[in-house]
Structure 1
Protein backbone atom coordinates (compact mmCIF):
# COMPACT_ATOMS: atom_id res chain seq x y z
CA UNK A 1 0.00 0.00 0.00
CA UNK A 2 1.31 3.42 -0.88
CA UNK A 3 1.40 5.78 2.08
CA UNK A 4 -0.44 9.02 1.59
CA UNK A 5 1.73 11.98 0.66
CA UNK A 6 2.42 14.14 3.71
CA UNK A 7 2.73 17.87 3.32
CA UNK A 8 3.13 20.74 5.68
CA UNK A 9 -0.09 22.33 4.41
CA UNK A 10 -3.04 21.74 6.70
CA UNK A 11 -6.46 21.23 5.15
CA UNK A 12 -9.20 23.71 5.93
CA UNK A 13 -11.44 22.73 8.83
CA UNK A 14 -14.81 21.35 7.79
CA UNK A 15 -17.55 23.95 7.41
CA UNK A 16 -20.01 23.68 10.27
CA UNK A 17 -23.61 23.21 9.18
CA UNK A 18 -25.85 25.93 10.54
CA UNK A 19 -28.46 24.57 12.89
CA UNK A 20 -30.79 27.53 12.80
CA UNK A 21 -31.60 30.58 10.69
CA UNK A 22 -33.89 33.31 12.04
CA UNK A 23 -35.51 35.51 9.37
CA UNK A 24 -36.91 38.93 10.27
CA UNK A 25 -38.56 41.34 7.79
CA UNK A 26 -37.87 44.94 8.78
CA UNK A 27 -39.77 48.08 7.86
CA UNK A 28 -39.20 51.21 9.96
CA UNK A 29 -38.36 49.46 13.23
CA UNK A 30 -35.15 51.27 14.19
CA UNK A 31 -35.98 51.54 17.91
CA UNK A 32 -36.87 47.86 18.23
CA UNK A 33 -33.88 46.32 16.43
CA UNK A 34 -31.11 46.58 19.04
CA UNK A 35 -33.19 45.22 21.98
CA UNK A 36 -34.45 42.39 19.78
CA UNK A 37 -30.93 41.56 18.54
CA UNK A 38 -29.66 41.42 22.14
CA UNK A 39 -32.49 39.06 23.11
CA UNK A 40 -31.84 36.84 20.10
CA UNK A 41 -28.12 36.62 20.89
CA UNK A 42 -28.80 35.45 24.43
CA UNK A 43 -31.44 32.86 23.43
CA UNK A 44 -29.58 31.47 20.41
CA UNK A 45 -26.17 31.29 22.11
CA UNK A 46 -27.73 29.39 24.98
CA UNK A 47 -29.56 26.84 22.80
CA UNK A 48 -27.49 26.43 19.61
CA UNK A 49 -23.84 26.27 18.56
CA UNK A 50 -24.19 27.42 14.94
CA UNK A 51 -26.83 29.96 14.01
CA UNK A 52 -27.49 33.05 11.93
CA UNK A 53 -30.02 35.87 11.88
CA UNK A 54 -31.13 37.44 8.60
CA UNK A 55 -32.67 40.89 8.75
CA UNK A 56 -34.45 41.78 5.50
CA UNK A 57 -34.80 45.56 5.25
CA UNK A 58 -37.93 46.10 3.19
CA UNK A 59 -37.10 49.63 2.01
CA UNK A 60 -37.20 51.29 5.44
CA UNK A 61 -37.42 55.09 5.34
CA UNK A 62 -36.11 55.66 8.88
CA UNK A 63 -32.64 54.75 10.18
CA UNK A 64 -33.33 51.02 10.46
CA UNK A 65 -30.61 50.11 7.95
CA UNK A 66 -27.98 52.16 9.80
CA UNK A 67 -28.95 50.42 13.04
CA UNK A 68 -28.75 47.03 11.31
CA UNK A 69 -25.24 47.83 10.06
CA UNK A 70 -24.12 48.60 13.62
CA UNK A 71 -25.65 45.33 14.82
CA UNK A 72 -23.83 43.45 12.04
CA UNK A 73 -20.52 45.13 12.92
CA UNK A 74 -20.91 43.98 16.52
CA UNK A 75 -21.98 40.43 15.62
CA UNK A 76 -21.32 39.15 12.05
CA UNK A 77 -23.82 36.33 12.53
CA UNK A 78 -26.48 39.03 12.14
CA UNK A 79 -26.73 39.38 8.38
CA UNK A 80 -28.58 41.99 6.34
CA UNK A 81 -30.49 41.89 3.07
CA UNK A 82 -31.62 45.30 1.85
CA UNK A 83 -34.35 45.82 -0.75
CA UNK A 84 -34.27 48.70 -3.22
CA UNK A 85 -37.81 49.64 -2.20
CA UNK A 86 -40.79 48.53 -0.14
CA UNK A 87 -42.06 45.23 -1.57
CA UNK A 88 -44.10 43.99 1.40
CA UNK A 89 -43.77 41.49 4.22
CA UNK A 90 -44.36 38.43 2.03
CA UNK A 91 -41.54 39.43 -0.34
CA UNK A 92 -39.21 40.09 2.60
CA UNK A 93 -39.97 36.70 4.15
CA UNK A 94 -39.57 35.01 0.77
CA UNK A 95 -36.10 36.52 0.35
CA UNK A 96 -35.16 35.49 3.87
CA UNK A 97 -36.30 31.92 3.30
CA UNK A 98 -34.35 31.81 0.02
CA UNK A 99 -31.10 33.00 1.58
CA UNK A 100 -31.38 31.12 4.90
CA UNK A 101 -28.74 28.40 5.33
CA UNK A 102 -29.91 26.67 8.51
CA UNK A 103 -31.42 23.23 8.82
CA UNK A 104 -34.29 24.92 10.65
CA UNK A 105 -35.65 28.32 9.56
CA UNK A 106 -37.58 30.52 12.00
CA UNK A 107 -39.41 33.56 10.59
CA UNK A 108 -40.55 36.15 13.12
CA UNK A 109 -41.57 39.81 13.32
CA UNK A 110 -39.04 42.55 14.04
CA UNK A 111 -41.40 44.71 16.12
CA UNK A 112 -40.54 42.90 19.35
CA UNK A 113 -43.98 41.40 19.85
CA UNK A 114 -42.77 37.85 19.08
CA UNK A 115 -40.72 36.49 21.99
CA UNK A 116 -37.31 34.99 21.03
CA UNK A 117 -37.55 32.76 24.11
CA UNK A 118 -40.24 30.76 22.27
CA UNK A 119 -37.85 29.67 19.50
CA UNK A 120 -36.44 26.57 21.31
CA UNK A 121 -40.01 25.49 22.15
CA UNK A 122 -41.01 25.60 18.48
CA UNK A 123 -37.88 23.72 17.40
CA UNK A 124 -38.44 21.09 20.09
CA UNK A 125 -41.96 20.48 18.76
CA UNK A 126 -40.53 20.29 15.24
CA UNK A 127 -38.32 17.39 16.34
CA UNK A 128 -41.43 15.30 17.05
CA UNK A 129 -41.68 14.72 13.30
CA UNK A 130 -43.34 17.88 12.01
CA UNK A 131 -42.21 19.99 9.09
CA UNK A 132 -43.72 23.28 10.26
CA UNK A 133 -44.70 24.42 13.75
CA UNK A 134 -46.73 27.61 13.84
CA UNK A 135 -47.08 29.94 16.80
CA UNK A 136 -50.46 30.48 18.43
CA UNK A 137 -50.85 33.84 20.17
CA UNK A 138 -53.56 32.62 22.54
CA UNK A 139 -53.31 35.70 24.76
CA UNK A 140 -52.90 38.59 22.32
CA UNK A 141 -51.77 42.04 23.36
CA UNK A 142 -53.35 43.99 20.51
CA UNK A 143 -56.04 46.69 20.19
CA UNK A 144 -59.63 45.42 20.21
CA UNK A 145 -60.26 46.24 16.54
CA UNK A 146 -57.19 44.30 15.44
CA UNK A 147 -58.19 41.28 17.56
CA UNK A 148 -61.73 41.29 16.13
CA UNK A 149 -60.55 41.57 12.51
CA UNK A 150 -57.96 38.83 13.09
CA UNK A 151 -60.61 36.54 14.57
CA UNK A 152 -62.91 37.15 11.61
CA UNK A 153 -60.08 36.49 9.16
CA UNK A 154 -59.12 33.32 11.06
CA UNK A 155 -62.69 32.03 10.80
CA UNK A 156 -62.72 32.61 7.04
CA UNK A 157 -59.38 30.82 6.66
CA UNK A 158 -60.63 27.81 8.59
CA UNK A 159 -63.76 27.66 6.44
CA UNK A 160 -61.86 27.94 3.15
CA UNK A 161 -58.64 26.06 3.90
CA UNK A 162 -59.73 23.37 6.33
CA UNK A 163 -56.48 23.42 8.32
CA UNK A 164 -57.12 23.17 12.05
CA UNK A 165 -55.07 26.15 13.26
CA UNK A 166 -56.10 28.82 15.73
CA UNK A 167 -53.75 31.57 14.54
CA UNK A 168 -52.82 32.06 10.89
CA UNK A 169 -51.42 35.56 11.34
CA UNK A 170 -48.55 34.74 13.68
CA UNK A 171 -45.26 35.22 11.84
CA UNK A 172 -43.31 33.19 14.42
CA UNK A 173 -42.88 29.66 13.05
CA UNK A 174 -40.26 26.94 12.79
CA UNK A 175 -39.77 25.19 9.44
CA UNK A 176 -37.51 22.41 8.35
CA UNK A 177 -35.21 23.43 5.51
CA UNK A 178 -37.00 21.41 2.75
CA UNK A 179 -40.33 22.98 3.70
CA UNK A 180 -38.84 26.49 3.84
CA UNK A 181 -37.35 26.08 0.36
CA UNK A 182 -40.55 24.63 -1.12
CA UNK A 183 -42.75 27.70 -0.85
CA UNK A 184 -42.90 30.95 -2.80
CA UNK A 185 -44.54 33.97 -1.20
CA UNK A 186 -46.08 37.00 -2.88
CA UNK A 187 -49.03 39.29 -2.26
CA UNK A 188 -50.09 38.63 1.36
CA UNK A 189 -49.27 34.91 1.18
CA UNK A 190 -47.09 34.91 4.31
CA UNK A 191 -50.29 34.35 6.33
CA UNK A 192 -50.91 31.07 4.55
CA UNK A 193 -47.55 29.34 4.96
CA UNK A 194 -49.02 26.44 7.03
CA UNK A 195 -51.88 26.00 4.54
CA UNK A 196 -49.51 26.02 1.56
CA UNK A 197 -47.27 23.43 3.22
CA UNK A 198 -50.20 21.28 4.34
CA UNK A 199 -51.49 21.26 0.76
CA UNK A 200 -48.10 19.92 -0.36
CA UNK A 201 -48.17 17.10 2.17
CA UNK A 202 -46.01 18.52 4.96
CA UNK A 203 -46.92 17.84 8.59
CA UNK A 204 -48.13 20.92 10.48
CA UNK A 205 -48.44 21.58 14.22
CA UNK A 206 -49.20 24.54 16.47
CA UNK A 207 -47.68 25.67 19.78
CA UNK A 208 -48.80 28.43 22.14
CA UNK A 209 -46.38 31.35 22.16
CA UNK A 210 -46.01 34.58 24.08
CA UNK A 211 -47.30 37.79 22.52
CA UNK A 212 -45.88 41.04 23.85
CA UNK A 213 -47.10 44.63 23.51
CA UNK A 214 -45.36 46.85 21.00
CA UNK A 215 -43.01 49.21 22.84
CA UNK A 216 -41.78 51.41 20.00
CA UNK A 217 -42.96 52.46 16.55
CA UNK A 218 -46.35 52.09 14.92
CA UNK A 219 -48.16 49.00 13.67
CA UNK A 220 -48.06 48.42 9.93
CA UNK A 221 -51.46 46.71 9.90
CA UNK A 222 -54.60 48.50 8.66
CA UNK A 223 -58.07 47.68 7.36
CA UNK A 224 -56.69 47.85 3.81
CA UNK A 225 -54.99 44.50 4.37
CA UNK A 226 -58.33 42.74 4.89
CA UNK A 227 -59.55 42.77 1.26
CA UNK A 228 -56.06 41.92 0.00
CA UNK A 229 -55.84 39.06 2.47
CA UNK A 230 -59.27 37.78 1.42
CA UNK A 231 -58.30 37.75 -2.27
CA UNK A 232 -55.13 35.84 -1.43
CA UNK A 233 -57.25 33.45 0.65
CA UNK A 234 -59.44 32.71 -2.39
CA UNK A 235 -56.29 32.24 -4.45
CA UNK A 236 -54.82 29.75 -1.95
CA UNK A 237 -58.14 27.90 -1.74
CA UNK A 238 -58.28 27.58 -5.52
CA UNK A 239 -54.69 26.31 -5.74
CA UNK A 240 -55.30 23.81 -2.95
CA UNK A 241 -58.44 22.40 -4.51
CA UNK A 242 -58.11 22.80 -8.26
CA UNK A 243 -54.55 23.70 -9.27
CA UNK A 244 -54.05 20.26 -10.80
CA UNK A 245 -57.52 20.07 -12.36
CA UNK A 246 -58.92 23.54 -13.14
CA UNK A 247 -61.27 22.05 -15.72
CA UNK A 248 -63.20 20.44 -12.86
CA UNK A 249 -64.31 23.74 -11.34
CA UNK A 250 -64.72 25.65 -14.62
CA UNK A 251 -66.31 22.64 -16.29
CA UNK A 252 -68.68 22.20 -13.35
CA UNK A 253 -69.73 25.83 -13.57
CA UNK A 254 -70.10 25.39 -17.32
CA UNK A 255 -72.38 22.36 -16.91
CA UNK A 256 -74.47 24.23 -14.36
CA UNK A 257 -74.77 27.31 -16.57
CA UNK A 258 -75.60 25.35 -19.73
CA UNK A 259 -78.12 23.27 -17.78
CA UNK A 260 -79.90 26.39 -16.50
CA UNK A 261 -79.87 27.83 -20.03
CA UNK A 262 -81.33 24.68 -21.58
CA UNK A 263 -84.04 24.42 -18.92
CA UNK A 264 -84.92 28.06 -19.55
CA UNK A 265 -85.07 27.37 -23.30
CA UNK A 266 -87.29 24.31 -22.85
CA UNK A 267 -89.58 26.28 -20.55
CA UNK A 268 -89.79 29.07 -23.16
CA UNK A 269 -90.83 26.54 -25.83
CA UNK A 270 -93.37 25.00 -23.45
CA UNK A 271 -94.90 28.42 -22.80
CA UNK A 272 -95.09 29.15 -26.53
CA UNK A 273 -96.66 25.83 -27.52
CA UNK A 274 -99.09 25.24 -24.67
CA UNK A 275 -99.90 28.76 -23.56
CA UNK A 276 -99.31 30.64 -26.81
CA UNK A 277 -97.31 33.15 -24.78
CA UNK A 278 -95.70 36.12 -26.48
CA UNK A 279 -92.02 35.48 -25.81
CA UNK A 280 -91.08 38.96 -26.97
CA UNK A 281 -92.62 40.26 -23.76
CA UNK A 282 -90.29 38.25 -21.55
CA UNK A 283 -86.49 38.06 -21.20
CA UNK A 284 -86.60 34.29 -20.74
CA UNK A 285 -85.30 33.32 -24.24
CA UNK A 286 -82.53 35.91 -23.98
CA UNK A 287 -81.64 34.58 -20.51
CA UNK A 288 -81.47 31.01 -21.89
CA UNK A 289 -79.10 32.01 -24.69
CA UNK A 290 -77.00 34.07 -22.29
CA UNK A 291 -76.58 31.20 -19.80
CA UNK A 292 -75.60 28.75 -22.55
CA UNK A 293 -73.01 31.20 -23.86
CA UNK A 294 -71.63 31.70 -20.34
CA UNK A 295 -71.41 27.94 -19.90
CA UNK A 296 -69.42 27.58 -23.12
CA UNK A 297 -67.08 30.35 -21.91
CA UNK A 298 -66.54 28.47 -18.65
CA UNK A 299 -65.61 25.32 -20.58
CA UNK A 300 -63.14 27.24 -22.74
CA UNK A 301 -61.64 28.94 -19.66
CA UNK A 302 -61.21 25.56 -17.97
CA UNK A 303 -59.42 24.07 -20.96
CA UNK A 304 -57.13 27.10 -21.27
CA UNK A 305 -56.38 27.05 -17.52
CA UNK A 306 -55.59 23.33 -17.70
CA UNK A 307 -53.20 23.91 -20.60
CA UNK A 308 -51.61 26.87 -18.80
CA UNK A 309 -50.99 24.99 -15.54
CA UNK A 310 -49.48 22.00 -17.34
CA UNK A 311 -47.25 24.37 -19.32
CA UNK A 312 -46.25 26.11 -16.07
CA UNK A 313 -45.27 22.82 -14.44
CA UNK A 314 -43.24 21.76 -17.46
CA UNK A 315 -41.52 25.16 -17.72
CA UNK A 316 -40.49 25.03 -14.05
CA UNK A 317 -39.68 21.33 -14.32
CA UNK A 318 -41.93 20.90 -11.30
CA UNK A 319 -43.76 17.70 -10.49
CA UNK A 320 -47.30 17.83 -9.05
CA UNK A 321 -46.20 15.82 -5.99
CA UNK A 322 -43.72 15.92 -3.08
CA UNK A 323 -41.77 12.81 -2.00
CA UNK A 324 -41.23 12.23 1.71
CA UNK A 325 -38.90 9.22 1.58
CA UNK A 326 -37.95 6.25 -0.60
CA UNK A 327 -37.19 2.87 0.93
CA UNK A 328 -34.97 0.54 -1.09
Structure 2
Protein backbone atom coordinates (compact mmCIF):
# COMPACT_ATOMS: atom_id res chain seq x y z
CA UNK A 1 0.00 0.00 0.00
CA UNK A 2 1.36 3.39 -1.01
CA UNK A 3 2.04 6.07 1.57
CA UNK A 4 0.15 9.33 1.08
CA UNK A 5 2.26 12.46 1.52
CA UNK A 6 0.54 15.84 1.84
CA UNK A 7 2.59 18.86 0.80
CA UNK A 8 1.23 21.98 2.53
CA UNK A 9 2.38 25.26 0.96
CA UNK A 10 1.14 28.66 2.18
CA UNK A 11 1.67 31.34 -0.45
CA UNK A 12 1.37 35.10 -0.66
CA UNK A 13 1.94 36.75 -4.06
CA UNK A 14 3.94 33.87 -5.57
CA UNK A 15 2.06 33.55 -8.88
CA UNK A 16 5.22 33.31 -10.99
CA UNK A 17 6.65 30.45 -8.94
CA UNK A 18 3.58 28.23 -8.77
CA UNK A 19 3.68 26.42 -12.16
CA UNK A 20 7.39 25.65 -11.80
CA UNK A 21 7.05 24.53 -8.19
CA UNK A 22 4.15 22.22 -9.02
CA UNK A 23 6.07 20.69 -11.93
CA UNK A 24 9.12 20.09 -9.73
CA UNK A 25 7.02 18.41 -7.03
CA UNK A 26 5.28 16.17 -9.59
CA UNK A 27 8.65 15.14 -11.02
CA UNK A 28 10.05 14.27 -7.59
CA UNK A 29 7.04 12.16 -6.60
CA UNK A 30 7.08 10.34 -9.94
CA UNK A 31 10.47 9.00 -8.83
CA UNK A 32 8.99 7.63 -5.60
CA UNK A 33 6.92 4.58 -6.66
CA UNK A 34 5.76 3.78 -3.10
CA UNK A 35 4.44 7.26 -2.46
CA UNK A 36 1.24 9.03 -3.47
CA UNK A 37 1.04 12.78 -3.09
CA UNK A 38 -1.32 15.68 -2.77
CA UNK A 39 -0.35 19.35 -2.89
CA UNK A 40 -2.31 21.78 -0.77
CA UNK A 41 -1.85 25.45 -1.60
CA UNK A 42 -3.15 27.98 0.93
CA UNK A 43 -3.50 31.27 -0.91
CA UNK A 44 -3.12 33.68 2.00
CA UNK A 45 -4.95 36.69 0.58
CA UNK A 46 -2.59 37.22 -2.37
CA UNK A 47 -3.04 40.48 -4.26
CA UNK A 48 -1.45 39.24 -7.49
CA UNK A 49 -2.99 36.65 -9.83
CA UNK A 50 -2.07 33.63 -7.66
CA UNK A 51 -5.73 32.59 -7.46
CA UNK A 52 -6.08 32.43 -11.24
CA UNK A 53 -2.77 30.62 -11.68
CA UNK A 54 -3.75 27.99 -9.11
CA UNK A 55 -7.10 27.52 -10.79
CA UNK A 56 -5.37 26.83 -14.12
CA UNK A 57 -2.91 24.41 -12.53
CA UNK A 58 -5.72 22.48 -10.85
CA UNK A 59 -7.48 21.97 -14.20
CA UNK A 60 -4.58 19.78 -15.32
CA UNK A 61 -3.55 18.25 -11.99
CA UNK A 62 -5.99 16.29 -9.83
CA UNK A 63 -3.50 16.18 -6.94
CA UNK A 64 -3.92 19.88 -6.25
CA UNK A 65 -6.09 21.20 -3.42
CA UNK A 66 -6.58 24.94 -2.98
CA UNK A 67 -7.69 27.07 -0.04
CA UNK A 68 -8.26 30.71 -0.99
CA UNK A 69 -8.46 33.23 1.85
CA UNK A 70 -10.19 36.59 1.49
CA UNK A 71 -7.43 38.39 3.36
CA UNK A 72 -3.94 37.74 4.67
CA UNK A 73 -4.14 35.93 8.03
CA UNK A 74 -0.49 34.94 8.48
CA UNK A 75 1.58 31.86 7.82
CA UNK A 76 0.85 30.05 11.09
CA UNK A 77 -2.93 30.16 10.71
CA UNK A 78 -2.65 29.32 7.02
CA UNK A 79 -0.64 26.22 7.92
CA UNK A 80 -3.30 25.23 10.44
CA UNK A 81 -5.90 25.25 7.68
CA UNK A 82 -3.63 23.16 5.47
CA UNK A 83 -3.01 20.61 8.22
CA UNK A 84 -6.75 20.17 8.70
CA UNK A 85 -7.28 19.53 5.00
CA UNK A 86 -4.28 17.19 4.66
CA UNK A 87 -5.18 13.51 4.31
CA UNK A 88 -1.65 12.11 4.28
CA UNK A 89 0.08 10.17 7.04
CA UNK A 90 3.14 12.32 6.31
CA UNK A 91 3.01 16.09 5.98
CA UNK A 92 5.53 18.29 4.22
CA UNK A 93 5.71 22.05 4.73
CA UNK A 94 7.69 24.29 2.43
CA UNK A 95 7.68 27.79 1.04
CA UNK A 96 6.26 28.60 -2.36
CA UNK A 97 9.12 30.78 -3.60
CA UNK A 98 11.24 27.92 -5.10
CA UNK A 99 13.98 28.40 -2.50
CA UNK A 100 13.08 25.11 -0.81
CA UNK A 101 14.12 22.54 -3.41
CA UNK A 102 11.67 19.62 -3.86
CA UNK A 103 14.66 17.49 -4.88
CA UNK A 104 15.48 17.25 -1.16
CA UNK A 105 12.27 15.39 -0.36
CA UNK A 106 13.43 11.79 -1.06
CA UNK A 107 16.30 12.18 1.41
CA UNK A 108 14.07 13.83 4.01
CA UNK A 109 11.42 11.12 3.66
CA UNK A 110 14.09 8.44 3.99
CA UNK A 111 15.32 10.12 7.18
CA UNK A 112 11.78 10.15 8.55
CA UNK A 113 11.46 6.42 7.86
CA UNK A 114 14.38 5.79 10.25
CA UNK A 115 11.92 6.33 13.09
CA UNK A 116 11.85 10.09 13.54
CA UNK A 117 8.63 12.09 13.87
CA UNK A 118 9.95 15.33 12.38
CA UNK A 119 12.81 16.06 9.99
CA UNK A 120 13.86 19.70 9.63
CA UNK A 121 15.60 20.86 6.47
CA UNK A 122 18.80 22.63 7.56
CA UNK A 123 19.69 25.26 4.96
CA UNK A 124 23.39 25.29 5.80
CA UNK A 125 24.27 27.40 2.77
CA UNK A 126 21.61 30.04 2.31
CA UNK A 127 21.08 32.28 -0.69
CA UNK A 128 19.53 35.17 1.21
CA UNK A 129 20.71 38.73 1.90
CA UNK A 130 22.85 39.21 5.02
CA UNK A 131 20.07 41.28 6.57
CA UNK A 132 18.04 38.08 6.73
CA UNK A 133 20.70 35.41 7.35
CA UNK A 134 22.61 37.05 10.22
CA UNK A 135 19.53 37.82 12.40
CA UNK A 136 18.16 34.37 11.57
CA UNK A 137 21.36 32.62 12.68
CA UNK A 138 21.49 34.64 15.90
CA UNK A 139 17.81 33.90 16.57
CA UNK A 140 18.26 30.19 15.87
CA UNK A 141 21.27 29.99 18.19
CA UNK A 142 19.42 31.73 21.01
CA UNK A 143 16.25 29.65 20.63
CA UNK A 144 18.03 26.29 20.36
CA UNK A 145 20.10 26.98 23.49
CA UNK A 146 17.21 28.25 25.61
CA UNK A 147 14.75 25.57 24.45
CA UNK A 148 17.42 22.84 24.58
CA UNK A 149 16.56 21.56 21.13
CA UNK A 150 19.70 20.73 19.16
CA UNK A 151 18.91 22.18 15.73
CA UNK A 152 20.81 24.60 13.52
CA UNK A 153 17.71 25.94 11.78
CA UNK A 154 14.78 25.82 14.21
CA UNK A 155 12.57 28.12 12.16
CA UNK A 156 13.18 26.47 8.80
CA UNK A 157 9.93 26.28 6.86
CA UNK A 158 11.05 23.10 5.09
CA UNK A 159 9.91 20.13 7.20
CA UNK A 160 8.72 16.56 6.87
CA UNK A 161 6.66 15.18 9.77
CA UNK A 162 4.25 12.49 10.76
CA UNK A 163 0.60 13.50 10.85
CA UNK A 164 0.11 12.40 14.45
CA UNK A 165 2.92 14.69 15.61
CA UNK A 166 1.30 17.82 14.19
CA UNK A 167 -2.41 17.19 14.73
CA UNK A 168 -2.41 18.41 18.36
CA UNK A 169 -0.79 21.76 17.56
CA UNK A 170 -2.71 25.00 17.24
CA UNK A 171 -0.55 27.59 15.52
CA UNK A 172 -1.02 31.35 15.56
CA UNK A 173 1.12 34.48 15.41
CA UNK A 174 4.67 33.36 14.58
CA UNK A 175 4.41 29.97 16.29
CA UNK A 176 5.02 28.15 13.00
CA UNK A 177 8.69 29.02 13.55
CA UNK A 178 8.73 26.84 16.66
CA UNK A 179 7.05 23.68 15.37
CA UNK A 180 10.16 21.58 16.17
CA UNK A 181 10.17 22.85 19.76
CA UNK A 182 6.43 22.36 20.20
CA UNK A 183 6.67 18.81 18.85
CA UNK A 184 9.81 17.92 20.83
CA UNK A 185 8.21 19.14 24.07
CA UNK A 186 5.39 16.65 23.45
CA UNK A 187 7.83 13.76 23.43
CA UNK A 188 8.22 13.27 19.67
CA UNK A 189 11.64 12.69 18.10
CA UNK A 190 13.09 15.56 16.07
CA UNK A 191 16.15 15.64 13.84
CA UNK A 192 17.55 17.68 10.96
CA UNK A 193 19.25 17.02 7.67
CA UNK A 194 21.20 19.34 5.42
CA UNK A 195 19.25 20.43 2.33
CA UNK A 196 19.96 22.47 -0.77
CA UNK A 197 18.73 26.05 -0.75
CA UNK A 198 18.17 28.10 -3.88
CA UNK A 199 18.26 31.84 -4.59
CA UNK A 200 14.90 33.54 -4.90
CA UNK A 201 13.90 33.44 -8.56
CA UNK A 202 10.81 35.64 -8.62
CA UNK A 203 9.45 38.48 -6.51
CA UNK A 204 11.02 39.61 -3.27
CA UNK A 205 11.28 38.34 0.28
CA UNK A 206 8.43 39.04 2.74
CA UNK A 207 10.91 38.96 5.64
CA UNK A 208 11.12 42.02 7.90
CA UNK A 209 12.54 42.97 11.27
CA UNK A 210 9.03 43.09 12.69
CA UNK A 211 8.77 39.32 12.20
CA UNK A 212 11.92 38.81 14.25
CA UNK A 213 10.50 40.88 17.11
CA UNK A 214 7.14 39.10 16.96
CA UNK A 215 8.93 35.78 16.83
CA UNK A 216 10.84 36.60 20.02
CA UNK A 217 7.63 37.29 21.94
CA UNK A 218 6.00 34.15 20.55
CA UNK A 219 9.05 32.20 21.70
CA UNK A 220 8.44 33.53 25.21
CA UNK A 221 4.87 32.25 24.86
CA UNK A 222 6.14 28.80 23.86
CA UNK A 223 8.52 28.59 26.82
CA UNK A 224 5.89 29.86 29.27
CA UNK A 225 3.29 27.35 28.10
CA UNK A 226 5.84 24.55 28.22
CA UNK A 227 6.90 25.42 31.78
CA UNK A 228 3.57 26.40 33.29
CA UNK A 229 0.93 25.28 30.80
CA UNK A 230 0.00 22.22 32.87
CA UNK A 231 0.62 23.84 36.27
CA UNK A 232 -0.44 27.50 36.12
CA UNK A 233 -0.81 27.77 39.88
CA UNK A 234 2.96 27.37 40.20
CA UNK A 235 3.45 30.58 38.22
CA UNK A 236 0.62 32.65 39.67
CA UNK A 237 1.13 31.14 43.12
CA UNK A 238 4.81 32.07 43.35
CA UNK A 239 4.25 35.66 42.26
CA UNK A 240 1.08 36.01 44.31
CA UNK A 241 2.68 34.47 47.38
CA UNK A 242 5.68 36.81 47.16
CA UNK A 243 3.34 39.77 46.78
CA UNK A 244 1.36 38.78 49.88
CA UNK A 245 4.55 38.10 51.86
CA UNK A 246 6.04 41.51 51.06
CA UNK A 247 2.71 43.17 51.81
CA UNK A 248 2.56 41.42 55.20
CA UNK A 249 6.13 42.43 56.05
CA UNK A 250 5.29 46.06 55.34
CA UNK A 251 2.07 45.71 57.36
CA UNK A 252 3.94 44.28 60.36
CA UNK A 253 6.47 47.12 60.15
CA UNK A 254 3.67 49.71 60.07
CA UNK A 255 1.90 47.97 62.97
CA UNK A 256 5.05 48.25 65.08
CA UNK A 257 5.25 51.95 64.28
CA UNK A 258 1.57 52.35 65.18
CA UNK A 259 2.04 50.73 68.61
CA UNK A 260 5.02 53.01 69.17
CA UNK A 261 2.69 55.97 68.84
CA UNK A 262 3.52 57.06 65.30
CA UNK A 263 0.81 58.00 62.82
CA UNK A 264 0.67 55.64 59.81
CA UNK A 265 -2.66 56.69 58.27
CA UNK A 266 -1.06 59.09 55.81
CA UNK A 267 1.89 56.93 54.88
CA UNK A 268 2.00 55.79 51.21
CA UNK A 269 3.56 52.55 52.44
CA UNK A 270 0.24 51.58 54.02
CA UNK A 271 -1.60 51.84 50.71
CA UNK A 272 1.23 50.01 48.98
CA UNK A 273 1.09 47.14 51.51
CA UNK A 274 -2.67 46.77 51.09
CA UNK A 275 -2.33 46.77 47.30
CA UNK A 276 0.38 44.10 47.44
CA UNK A 277 -1.79 41.82 49.56
CA UNK A 278 -4.86 42.32 47.34
CA UNK A 279 -2.82 41.78 44.18
CA UNK A 280 -1.35 38.60 45.65
CA UNK A 281 -4.78 37.25 46.53
CA UNK A 282 -6.00 38.04 43.02
CA UNK A 283 -3.04 36.23 41.45
CA UNK A 284 -3.65 33.19 43.64
CA UNK A 285 -7.31 33.19 42.62
CA UNK A 286 -6.32 33.43 38.95
CA UNK A 287 -3.99 30.45 39.38
CA UNK A 288 -6.73 28.37 41.00
CA UNK A 289 -9.20 29.19 38.21
CA UNK A 290 -6.55 28.30 35.61
CA UNK A 291 -5.94 24.98 37.39
CA UNK A 292 -9.67 24.21 37.25
CA UNK A 293 -9.73 24.89 33.51
CA UNK A 294 -6.56 22.90 32.81
CA UNK A 295 -7.77 19.93 34.86
CA UNK A 296 -10.56 19.31 32.35
CA UNK A 297 -8.12 18.76 29.47
CA UNK A 298 -4.94 17.62 31.24
CA UNK A 299 -5.49 13.90 30.60
CA UNK A 300 -6.22 14.54 26.91
CA UNK A 301 -2.74 16.01 26.41
CA UNK A 302 -0.70 13.18 27.91
CA UNK A 303 2.07 11.98 25.53
CA UNK A 304 0.75 8.41 25.19
CA UNK A 305 2.49 6.57 22.36
CA UNK A 306 0.34 3.43 22.25
CA UNK A 307 -1.63 1.11 24.50
CA UNK A 308 -2.05 -2.66 24.50
Q: 1:152 to 1:269 in 2, by over 3 A?
A: farther
| Greater Cα radius of gyration, structure 1 or 2 | 1
- In the other structure, the counterpart of 1:289 is 274
| Alpha-carbon contact 2:122-2:193 (below 8 Å) kept | yes
Note the C-alpha offset of 1:238: 2.1
| Alpha-carbon contact 2:14-2:96 (below 8 Å) kept | yes
Counterpart CA distance in 2 for 1:127 and 1:51 is: 16
- In the other structure, the counterpart of 2:302 is 321
Q: 1:262 to 1:235 in 2, by over 3 A?
A: same
- In the other structure, the counterpart of 2:179 is 193
The equivalences for 1:1-328 within 5 A come to 18-48=3-33, 49-158=35-144, 160-269=146-255, 279=264, 283-311=268-296, 313=297, 319-327=300-308
Gaps of 5+ in 2: none
Query: TM-score normalised to the size of structure 1?
Result: 0.85
- Answer with 201-210 or 156-165: which moved more: 156-165
Gaps of 5+ in 1: 1-15
Counterpart CA distance in 1 for 2:88 and 2:2 is: 7
Note the C-alpha offset of 1:270: 5.1
Note the C-alpha offset of 1:253: 0.9
| Structure 1 consecutive aligned stretches of length 4 or more whose deviation exceeds 6 Å | none
SS of residue in 1 equivalent to 2:31: helix
| Alpha-carbon contact 2:144-2:154 (below 8 Å) kept | no
Counterpart CA distance in 2 for 1:160 and 1:301 is: 28
Query: TM-score normalised to the size of structure 2?
Result: 0.90
- Answer with 127-136 or 77-86: which moved more: 77-86
Q: Deviations over 1:250-293 (max 9, x none)?
A: 0111111112222233344456667x776578643333222222
Q: Deviations over 1:181-233 (max 9, x none)?
A: 22222222211111121222211111122222211112112122233223322
SS of residue in 2 equivalent to 1:62: coil
Q: Deviations over 1:121-169 (max 9, x none)?
A: 2111111111111122222222222223323432443355332222122
RMSD: 2.3
